[in-house]
Amino acid sequence: MNDLIIKQGKLINGTIIDLVINDGKITAIGPFAATGLNAIKEIDLHGHYHISAGWIDAHTHCYPQSPLYFDEPDLIGIASGVTTVVDAGSAGADDIDHFYAVSRKAKTHVYAFLNIARTGIRSQNELADMNSIDNEQFQDAARRHKGFVIGLKARMSKSVIGENGLLPLLKAKIMQKTNGLPLMVHIGNPPPNLEAMVDLLTKGDIITHCFNGKPNRILDGTGKLKHAVQKALARGVILDVGHGTESLSFSVAEQAIKFGAHPHMISSDIYQRNRVGGPVYSLASVMTKFLNMGLPAEYILNCVTINAANLLHLPQKGRLERGCDADITIFELKDQRIELVDAEGQVRIGSQQFIPIAAIVSGTHIAVTENTATVDLTVKNTTADRSAINDLSQ
């Protein structure tokens, strides 16, 4: 008897497949993989609904005890069709033990970029005091939580660094040499200027908020991609969206994409305030914005699945392949009019939308979203855990 069978799921290319899942892994996949098989739980999608590897949100703020940017992992995770969330620096070495303990209670997979400031984001200017950057404590925390801590985070904008200029980023690059983890760099208002920061970045480093409309945008005064950014991309530096409350400009993104600066990862920078009040709402909402800026649906899915898994060094995630983790997102790609708003209040009218229907984590937790009431999703021999999500949202 198998643990879970998903029948007649539709890939983004239109192929209809079955999935067979055991012990948290995909054990069979293909057009008729479930023929003649039985399972404890069975979901029949009737060929109507899309299926993909579980969506990965590479930039969130989901440490519930963080004083400024916080949320519940399962509300921005499985309740929204996302199976893996990565917290981007909410916690530093002082808080990572507690964050780890809290994260183990979530159904959603949770990982962390550890803030180079030991305090994490307890205030807006965590890098204004260089004494808050303690390499020994950082490395100890990263070693203690190897596998949970998958990168380091430096927020490099004037409001965060005070008068320290490039010093926090220089220190971050030194810290990175010890552990080899990816470095995510938040770009905001200068100083320091973008070119000086980008010149320090190396292959695998991540520029988040890459399409912001602030003075440190990736476009020059003529609307072309800055030369320093072009060189960084050629070196293998990564562009991550990190929409957030202030960091996605439609006009910048549209122009950058025109010049070939496509995002490698599409992430939300979501936390409670911009989830409830916008302009982020969910990872699906951010994906929809890029869909209506002209990026193909398959490209967008890759940005939240295989690209994110590869760039974050999560080799068992992000793919629908035999032997990979049984993290699955079920969704619709629906033709309907939608009004979309960026972080600057610019409005675009879209005609197609990603609508998450359900998320399956490790082949065990089946969480339906609020959209499931309007679709024909047949789940046999199990009760999807909507009640757990409702409890969290009270």
Nearest to 156 by CA among 115, 197, 113: 197
Contact 212, 263 (CB under 8 A): no
What does the chain come to in residues? 394
Give the DSSP H/E element, type plus range, for residue 21. Answer: strand 16-22
Residues 186, 169: Cα–Cα separation, whole Å: 10
Residues 306, 316: Cα–Cα separation, whole Å: 10
Pairing of strands 25-30, 16-22: antiparallel
In the numeric block, the tokens 């649906």 are attached to 297
Question: What is the b/e burial string over 8-47, where b = at least 16 CB atoms within 10 angstroms of the residue's CB?
Answer: bbbebeeebbbbbbbeebbbbbeeebbeeeebebbbbbee
| 46 marked as part of a ligand binding site | no
Nearest to 332 by CA among 355, 304, 352: 355
Residues 269, 266: Cα–Cα separation, whole Å: 10
Pairing of strands 149-156, 183-187: parallel
Contact 139, 178 (CB under 8 A): yes
Residues 130, 114: Cα–Cα separation, whole Å: 16
Residues 157, 198: Cα–Cα separation, whole Å: 13
Nearest to 125 by CA among 90, 96, 171, 161: 161
Residues 361, 387: Cα–Cα separation, whole Å: 16
Phi and psi at residue 115, in whole multiples of 5°? -65, 135
Contacts of 387 (CB under 8 A, 6+ apart): none
Give CA angle at 265 (107, 310), nearest 5°. 75
| 153 marked as part of a ligand binding site | yes
| 209 marked as part of a ligand binding site | yes
Give the DSSP H/E element, type plus range, for residue 390. Answer: helix 386-392
| 48 marked as part of a ligand binding site | no
Residues 108, 72: Cα–Cα separation, whole Å: 10
Give binding residues as ranges.
59, 61, 153, 186, 209, 269
Give binding residues for Zn(2+) as ranges.
59, 61, 153, 186, 209, 269
